[in-house]
Amino acid sequence: MTPTPSDSLRHTLPAGDVTVHLDAARPRLVSIDEKEALIRSGVSYGELLTPERPPAPAQTAAYHGALTRNGARTGQLLAALSAELLRRYPRPVLVSLARAGTPVGCAMRRLARRWGRDLPHHTLSIIRGSGIDRVALAQVQAAHPGAQLIFVDGWTGKGSIDGALRASLPADVPPILAVLSDPAGVARHAATHDDLLLPHAALNATVCGLLSRTFVAAPGQRHAARTEDDLRPHDLSGHYLSALDDLSAPHGPDTPLNPGPRPQDPVRAALEAAAARGFHDPHRVKPGVGEATRVFLRRRPAHLILRAERHPDTLHLLTLARHSGVPVTTQADLPYLAVATIAGGAE
């Protein structure tokens, strides 16, 4: 018998916004330094989890600053992407990629409901190296036979998630990726190709129902997560979804999609910028403001490259880098707002 989606994680996402296809499990908890050493030894990133700390003041300020500065644009991007999917596909079903895609999918479902359309939304896990959660995906397919599955994420960096989709989806499921910000230029549907700080990129579990990063608990089973219960006093998940409601409210189902020109080989330029500073392993190079922020929150950063030192969308990265003693350089022709590199062994 096919297992039903579990709510045992006690997440704080509204049940009417999303069906969560993740199991509750006990991960292998390690410190950041232990995680980096284990990854270098060959252990999969998808088997390890570092407990999240309360958001640093720079993160919280970046979240609220992005809502104020980029909020109106984020609302328009949500509406444009939602309208495009509803125009393009007769029976679209949103399958957001936990976690960065989850609040986006929730907001899009709410927006479609306001327009009088039902846009089902499920969220499941994809992990680089392990691929899509095939067990959870089968549950979604069974719930919506014949529907078009649209994989939703917040932003792209190098395009690794798009590559993981293409490599791990069954042959009968097209790799249709839809994102708000696509500086890598890889998504089938992008609201914009600009690199910009989406508000939820500044935080982790506290804007995603207190869900941890997903991990592989056991072969052949659904991917898992844990609830970051210690962060409940800091939870802004409801606040964020309410803000996105207000920001997208002025836009209707006729909102046009104008993503701008698709970038031409931006990843190569980012890798060359990193190589010029001594970082030659592409797995240790994370381009884009969203991915660079993740490096400072979850990994051990080694170097930060900025397009402009005082760009408002990267000021939090500058603060985090200075706080942790990470060198910062600028490169005006960088196709991304930021590129962060991850510390590792000698190359």
Q: Give the pLDDT of the chain (347 residues) as one tens digit per residue.
A: 233 444 467 899 999 999 999 999 988 888 878 877 877 777 776 777 888 999 999 999 999 999 999 999 999 999 999 999 999 999 999 999 999 999 999 999 999 999 999 999 999 999 988 899 999 999 999 999 999 999 999 999 999 999 999 999 999 999 999 999 999 999 999 999 999 999 999 999 999 999 999 999 888 899 999 999 999 999 999 999 999 999 999 999 999 999 999 999 999 999 999 999 999 999 999 999 999 999 999 899 999 999 999 999 999 999 999 999 999 999 999 999 999 999 975 33
**Is the distance from CB of 225 to CB of 212 less than 8 angstroms?**
yes
Q: Which of 137, 131, 133 minimizes the C-alpha distance to 149? A: 137
What is the C-alpha separation between 45 and 6, in angstroms, rounded? 24
Residue showing tokens 């994680």 = 9
Q: Which of 164, 204, 203, 162 minimizes the C-alpha distance to 182? A: 162
What is the C-alpha separation between 346 and 5, in angstroms, rounded? 44
Q: What is the DSSP letter of 347?
A: -
Name the phi and psi angles at 207, rounded to 5: -120, 15
pTM: 0.94
pLDDT of residue 26: 85
| Residue-wise burial string across 58-86, b where 16 or more C-beta atoms lie within 10 A, e elsewhere | bbbebbbbbbebbbebbbbbbbbbbbbbb
What is the C-alpha separation between 282 and 107, in angstroms, rounded? 33
Strand partners, 225: 24
Q: Which CATH superfamily is domain 266-342 in?
A: Ribosomal protein L30/S12 (3.30.1330.30)
**Is the distance from CB of 154 to CB of 100 less than 8 angstroms?**
yes
Name the phi and psi angles at 338, rounded to 5: -155, 150
Name the token pair of 102.
């989850």
pLDDT of residue 2: 34
pLDDT of residue 229: 93
What are the C-alpha distances in Å from 88 to residues 85, 92, 108, 189, 311? 5, 9, 15, 10, 36
pLDDT of residue 309: 92
**Is the distance from CB of 114 to CB of 17 less than 8 angstroms?**
no
Name the token pair of 22.
């993740």
pLDDT of residue 20: 97
Strand partners, 192: 181
pLDDT of residue 18: 98
Top CATH class of 19-248 equals alpha beta
What are the structural domain ranges in the chain? 19-248, 266-342
User: In which region does residue 210 sit, left (phi positive, over 0), alpha (psi from -120 to 50) or beta (all else)?
Assistant: left
pLDDT of residue 8: 66
Strand partners, 96: 123, 152
Residue 56 has, within 13 A of its CA and on its CB side, a CA count of: 15
Query: Could you count the other beta carbons within 10 Å of the beta carbon of residue 175?
Result: 17
Q: Would the CATH topology of 19-248 be identical to that of 266-342?
A: no
